[in-house]
């Protein structure tokens, strides 16, 4: 089955003389399970220029906003692993290319909604008042993530250089927090009922989608 959303993105990119090679695709459902949101990671090549320049992305950023996507840009990445069937290879990124991620806006909204529910339940847990170490660490990770993802609300107000800078900051943050995100997994054990445990699991899936920003080397 084809991916119409990705096909529409490819068509738009081609109209500006860009080519996109998909390396990873992940998805998560909205908080009520009624909608599926997607994120794509891959290599964007400028078919018009010899060197990739972020300033050429102005129209693409505007078009992706209309399609309901944020774009993160990672020219600092020099290699990315591509998977094909049961094998993989490390693909070098050339001078006219850059790793990019296309993140559907609903993923950020779902993160905010599920993290708020999880935080509510954590703070109602008896062990929270006993200053349980794992609960407090989960709370701190969620607080830091919320702050790190907050700039997405300004993404469409800025152009390439700002987006590139904040993309790098977000990638650095996620690498730094990689070990701490395990506390989000154990948060489900502290939820007060099945509904909140479902929120915690959905939160983990959304974070996994956003962690594709850490793809590449």
Q: Work out the percent of the chain whose per-residue pLDDT is above 70.
A: 99
Q: Using DSSP, state whether 179 is helix, strand or coil.
A: coil
In the chain, domain spans: 4-107, 108-214
Q: What is the pLDDT of residue 82?
A: 81
Indicate whether 22 pLDDT > 90: yes
pTM of the model as a whole: 0.92
| Closest C-alpha among 104, 100, 34, 94 to residue 68 | 104
Q: How confident is the model at residue 87 (pLDDT cuts 50, 70, 90)?
A: confident
Q: What is the pLDDT of residue 1?
A: 41
Q: Measure the CA–CA gap between 37 and 24, rounded to whole angstroms.
A: 14
Q: What is the pLDDT of residue 85?
A: 65
Q: What is the pLDDT of residue 93?
A: 96
Q: What is the pLDDT of residue 178?
A: 86
Residue, of 42 and 216, whose pLDDT is higher: 42
Question: Please, how many CA atoms are within 13 Å of residue 62, restricted to the half-sphere of its CB?
Answer: 7
Structure-derived torsion over alpha carbons of residues 94, 96, 99, 105, reported in degrees to the nearest 10 = -170
Q: Measure the CA–CA gap between 61 and 69, rounded to whole angstroms.
A: 9
- Mean pLDDT to the nearest integer, 94-112: 97
What's the helix, strand, coil split of the chain in %, to 5? Answer: 55, 25, 20
Cβ neighbour number for residue 114 with a 10 Å cutoff? 25
Mean pLDDT of the chain: 92
- Mean pLDDT to the nearest integer, 83-110: 90
**pLDDT tens track for 140-184:** 999 999 999 999 988 877 888 999 999 999 999 999 988 888 888
Q: Measure the CA–CA gap between 54 and 45, rounded to whole angstroms.
A: 11
């Amino acid at each position: 089955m084809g991916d119409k959303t990705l096909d529409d993105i490819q068509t738009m990119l081609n109209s500006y003389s860009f080519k996109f090679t998909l390396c990873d695709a992940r998805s998560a459902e909205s908080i009520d399970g009624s909608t599926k949101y997607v994120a794509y990671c891959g290599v964007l090549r400028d078919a018009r220029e010899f060197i990739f320049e972020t300033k050429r992305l102005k129209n693409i950023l505007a078009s992706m906003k209309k399609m309901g996507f944020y774009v993160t840009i990672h020219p600092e990445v020099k290699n990315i692993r591509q998977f094909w069937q049961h094998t993989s290879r490390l693909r070098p990124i050339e001078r006219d290319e850059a790793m990019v991620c296309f993140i559907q806006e609903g993923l950020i909204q779902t993160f905010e909604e599920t993290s708020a529910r999880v935080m509510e339940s954590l703070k109602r847990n008896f062990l929270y008042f006993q200053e349980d170490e794992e609960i407090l660490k989960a709370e701190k990770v969620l607080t830091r993530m919320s702050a790190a993802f907050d700039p997405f609300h300004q993404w469409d107000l800025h152009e390439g250089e700002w987006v590139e800078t904040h993309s790098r900051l977000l990638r650095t943050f996620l690498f730094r927090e990689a070990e701490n995100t395990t506390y989000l997994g154990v948060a489900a054990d502290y939820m007060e009922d099945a509904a909140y445990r479902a929120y915690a699991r959905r939160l983990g899936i959304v974070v996994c989608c956003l962690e594709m920003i850490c793809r590449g080397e």
